[in-house]
A and B are shown apart, each in its own frame.
Chain A
Amino acid sequence: MSDKGQDVDLTRAKQNTGVWLVKVPKYLSQQWGKASGRGEVGKLKIANQGKTTVSFSLNEELTVVESSGETASSVRAPREHPFSMQSVGGQTLAVFTESSLDQITIEGMVVQRAECRPAVQESYVKLKKLQIEESTKPLRLSQRLEKAVTTNYKPVSNHTYNVEYEKKKKEEGKRARSDKEKVLEMLFSAFEKHQYYNIKNLVEITKQPVIYLKEILREIGVYNSRGPHKSTWELKPEYHHYQEGEEDEGTME
């Protein structure tokens, strides 16, 4: 169940705290991310002559734009950003925060919406040009080679992998039949772990030849040819008592 069903902290809501919602261009938020110290990024100027104008000016040090390729100094972010104020009419916007401890708080209501626009200056135009160039570059590039690549695949008399495989096979030899008792023990312990097994898996587990293993299996197990567990072997019902989540030993009868 969710452990997030909590009471919302409504103190600020009751105080009717007002906030502004400002839309900021991407490059500006990137620059802001580089702010150091206390996080001061600039100054907000509000003038009240007749019309209320709001403008934001970016700090000098943050105007340096990082860009791949070209030298950074030629391009700089603009400093002046007038705000375009908008009304909150059609929606009632509230701000809520989620803390890392899953505490939800209402921070306040949005009383003013604004858009931060860069003042159209040369620096801005250049910046935009740079951005567009970067974005139009394709992610993948085709490059022509002078010489064909010949270093990858060389003819080999026998691949190393094959050699190893053959060696391994020789060492192992054919699977030998061990005593029936031992095989049964192995089988039972395997069926403790899982209920359904493929014959190949069982061969690998028990290291027995297939025919011999099948004979033994026919004694103690049953083959599912259809159903959700298709073509698998499982123990006969009298041999297992599976309970939910518990593992029981199959008894020999």
Chain B
Amino acid sequence: MTSLGNSSSTGTEYIVRVPKNTSKRYNIMAFNAGDKVNCSTWTQARMERDMSNRRMYGEEETPEAGAGSEFGKKQREEARRKKYGIITKEFKVEDQPWLLKVNGKAGRRFKGLKKGGVTENASYYIFTQCADGAFEAFPVHGWYNFTPQAKHRTLTAEEAEEEWGRRNKVVNHFSIMLQRRLREQEHGEEEEEVAGEKGGKKKKKKGGKGGDLRIHDLEDDLEMSSDESDSSGGEDGEGKSKSKKDISSKAKAKKKKKRKGSDQEGLEDSDDGDFEGLEVDYMSDESSSEEEEPEKAKPNKGDDVPKGIDEASESEEESEEENKNEEEGKEEEEEEEGKKTPVQTEKKKKKEKESSGESDSSEDSDIEGETASALFMAKKRTPPKRGGRGSAGSSRTGSRPGTPSIDNAATSNTLRAAASKLEQGKRQAATSSSDTPAAKRLKMEPSSQSPSGKSTPQPASGKSTPSSSDVQLTEDAVRRYLIRKPMTTKDLLKKFQTKRTGLSSEQTVNVLAQILKKLNPERKNINDKMHFYLTE
């Protein structure tokens, strides 16, 4: 600091001059103290006006003559502006910000914005001391506040919103920018033809990352173990490994930050409380980065879940199909047999479905399964009696005749009997597993005729008839429903809920099956589902 004149104990006097006609305009360049700017260390500096706002003021330039111009356009525009009182502000070069570049390309950059209102109420003067000891005062023309500009990559508004949306999924926020940079580098490497520039840029980026120690949070953290790491690879590796470690690394980073904090451009230094709410990954030695882990976890989980319920869903789908085709005995047989006896199978199915969380449909499908099985059972009784009554390709019915035992068992209407029947049926039907659904449907249709014809006495016998206390699940009720509109078995079952009718689900199923057989409604396939309806 230069001393301002000889000072004796009493004091000294200096003449103050205010020079006139100075060709130079004095301005103030203000830096924030925290930026630690020392002009004496500057080796080279360039300064220019930032003209990027010019286009805001410049209006659309229409050609004034020749092609595209209109006669009298200018006058009309002016008249119009006057009429509406539109006053457009001029673009004053004087008020434009400054761009200051210090120490060339690799140095710092500053933007200087003009501070308004400086010369309104008071004037600032710069007092400099001349060689003769007198002071010269120059008025300050303008005051510019210079702020350093970030050289590290920042996110645009869209990118920032994107990252914000992912904040709950991303565990390690420190490596967000790092990942972006790596991605970019990969892109750059792919386009090697334009490599010349890009290579330079990449290197610059890498070097920039290594060199810009002070600007970015992440880089400070990355550099916890080495001050100059020129290779971004090293940094990356460190970054990843760093992110694994916990508080110790953060503490180190904090220390580093404090040391280097001086050059940070106004970014807040990390305080102790900053790390409290951060999510920390487990202390594992995985080599993959944190960011990918949650993403990996997600697909894994996704995989597991479907796997878990795959079997159940398969069974469910199959059971639904059965209901669609109604007594699609084949599939049901196979499926059921594939696992266990129908009773147990269905119970199991129920359990599986419930455990897999598809409880909403489990009940229905369960009931459906039972309905189907019940219907199937009934149907199965009759084909053997009929003999080869089914359509020509029905090997199932063809295979029936050879099993008089089934006929005998037909009298019992419990599910267990049905199970045994099914087992036998399945063995015979195993060969015909390749039936097409169409064929099955054909089969079923004629075969369904038979139950209605022949089996009237049977449903009434043996089977646990519904208690007469049930008011709702009656043939009349079902008939009413079916007359009104076509319904699937599912729909019907919904109408007669177990809570309301007082029946157990099994009973409901059985009774409904009987009623349907009695009514023998017509079928229609709507939306791939078999609907019943009556017309009267």
Determine the distance from Cα of A100 to Cα of B17 in the docked complex, in whole angstroms: 22
Chain B, 1-44, CB within 8 A of any chain A CB:
1-2, 4-5, 7-20, 23-33, 35, 37-40, 42-44
Question: Contacts A32-B137, A48-B10, A95-B26 given; 13 further ones with Cβ under 8 A?
Answer: A6-B47, A21-B140, A22-B127, A38-B17, A39-B17, A40-B16, A43-B15, A56-B16, A93-B29, A95-B29, A98-B24, A194-B66, A198-B70
A45 to B125, CA, bound (A): 17
On whether the beta carbons of A94 and B47 are closer than 8 Å, the reply is no
Residues of chain A within 8 A (CB-CB) of B17 are: 38-41
Flag if A91 contacts B33 (CB, 8 Å). Answer: yes
**B40–A94 contact, CB under 8 A?**
no
> Are B39 and A194 closer than 8 Å at their CB atoms?
no
How distant is the Cα of A40 from the Cα of B134 in the complex, in angstroms?
Answer: 10
A247 contacts the other chain (CB 8 A) = yes
The 7 closest A-B pairs by CB, nearest first: A47-B11, A242-B67, A5-B48, A20-B127, A8-B45, A29-B123, A13-B39
The verdict on B449 contacting chain A, using a C-beta distance below 8 Å, is no
Check B70 against A18 for contact (C-beta < 8 Å): no
Partner of B71, one of A26, A90, A95, A194: A194
The smallest C-beta distance from B124 to any residue of chain A, in angstroms, reads: 6
Residues in B112-131 with C-beta less than 8 Å from chain A = 121-128
Decide if B44 touches A21 in the complex (CB within 8 Å): no
Inter-subunit contact A39/B20 (CB<8 Å): yes
List the one stretch of A107-115, A168-176, A179-187, A206-214 in contact with chain B. Answer: A107-115
For B63, what are the chain A residues with a Cβ–Cβ distance below 8 Å? 245
Contact check, A97 vs B27: say whether CB atoms are below 8 A apart. yes
CA distance in complex: A112, B126 (Å): 10
A-B CB contact pairs (8 Å), 15 listed: A4-B49, A19-B127, A32-B137, A39-B17, A44-B135, A48-B11, A49-B11, A95-B28, A100-B23, A100-B24, A104-B47, A107-B26, A111-B2, A112-B4, A242-B66
What's the nearest-Cβ distance from chain B to residue A149, in Å?
Answer: 28
Contact A39 B11 (CB under 8 A): no
B297 at the A interface (CB under 8 A): no
* In the complex with contacts A46-B5, A245-B66, A39-B123 CB distance below 8 A: no
Please, which residues of chain B bring their CB within 8 A of the CB of A104? 47
Interface residue tally on B, bucketed by range: 35 or more
Q: How far is the CA of A26 from the CA of B13 in the complex (A)?
A: 24
A2 in contact with B128 (CB, 8 Å): no
B140-183 interface bits toward A, Cβ cutoff 8 Å, 1 = contact, 0 = none: 10000000000000000000000000000000000000000000
- In the bound complex, residues from chain B placing their C-beta under 8 Å from that of A158 are none
Chain A contacts of B24 at CB under 8 A?
Answer: 97-100, 105
Among A1, A53, A104, A245, the most chain B Cβ lie within 10 Å of the Cβ of A104
**B72 interface contact, C-beta 8 A:** yes
The answer to whether A10 and B13 have CB atoms under 8 Å apart is: no
- Interface residues, chain B, CB within 8 Å of chain A? 1-2, 4-5, 7-20, 23-33, 35, 37-40, 42-49, 51, 63, 65-72, 100, 121-128, 135, 137, 139-140
Contacts of A19 in B (CB 8 A): 126-128
Interface size class of A (residues with CB under 8 A): 35 or more
Alpha-carbon gap, A193 to B46, bound state (A): 45
Q: How far is the CA of A46 from the CA of B16 in the complex (A)?
A: 12
A109 to chain B minimum Cβ distance, whole angstroms, is 6
Instruction: Give Cα A22 to B332, complex, Å.
Output: 98
Decide if the interface of chain A is mainly helix, strand, loop or mixed: strand
Closest Cβ of chain A to B363, distance in Å, is 66
Contact flag A16-B40 (CB < 8 Å), given A40-B17, A111-B2, A243-B67 = yes
Please tell me if the beta carbons of B10 and A47 are within 8 angstroms of each other in the complex.
yes
Q: Which of B38, B71, B123 contacts A201 (CB 8 A)?
A: B71
CB nearest neighbor in B for A114: B127
Known: A21-B28, A38-B17. A7 touches B123 (CB 8 A): no
B66 touches A46 (CB 8 A): no
Q: Determine whether the beta carbon of B12 is less than 8 Å from that of A45.
A: yes
* Chain A residues, Cβ within 8 Å of B71: 190, 193-194, 196-198, 201
Instruction: Kindly state the separation between the CA atoms of A35 and B128 in the bound complex, as whole angstroms.
Output: 18
A152 sits at the interface (CB 8 A): no
Q: Is the CB of B66 within 8 A of A43?
A: no
Report the Cα distance A110→B44, complex, angstroms: 20
Residues of B within 8 A of A123 (CB): none
- Cα A4 to Cα B48 in complex, Å, equals 5
Digitize A192-235: 1 where CB-to-B-CB distance is under 8 Å, 0 elsewhere. Answer: 11111110010000000000000000000000000001001000
Bound Cα distance A95, B32 (Å): 14
Known contacts: A29-B139, A43-B16, A46-B7. The answer to whether A89 contacts B33 by CB under 8 A is: yes
Q: Are B69 and A23 in contact (CB under 8 A)?
A: no
Closest-CB distance, B66 to chain A (whole angstroms): 5
Asked if A133 is at the interface of the complex by the 8 Å CB criterion, the answer is no
Per-residue 0/1 for A60-78: is the Cβ within 8 Å of any B Cβ (1 yes, 0 no)? 0000000000000000000
Give the chain A neighbours of B31 by CB distance below 8 A: 91-94
A18 to B23, CA, bound (A): 21
For residue A97, which residues in chain B have a CB less than 8 angstroms away from its CB? 24-27
Report yes or no: A17 in contact with B2, Cβ–Cβ below 8 A: yes
State whether A108 and B128 are in contact (beta carbons under 8 Å apart), knowing that A25-B122, A40-B17 are contacts in the complex: yes
Check A246 for interface membership: any CB of B closer than 8 A.
yes
How far is A25 from B125 in the complex, measured between Cα atoms in Å? 10
Query: Are A10 and B2 touching (Cβ within 8 A)?
Result: no
Whole-angstrom distance between the alpha carbons of A172 and B278 in the complex? 89
Known: A29-B123, A96-B29. A46 touches B46 (CB 8 A): no
What residues on B are CB-neighbors of A201 within 8 Å? Answer: 71-72
CB contacts (< 8 Å) of A4 on chain B: these are 47-49
Tell me if A147 counts as interface (CB < 8 A to partner B): no
Which chain A residue has the least Cβ–Cβ distance from B8? A48
Using a CB-CB cutoff of 8 Å, which residues 113-166 of chain A contact chain B? none
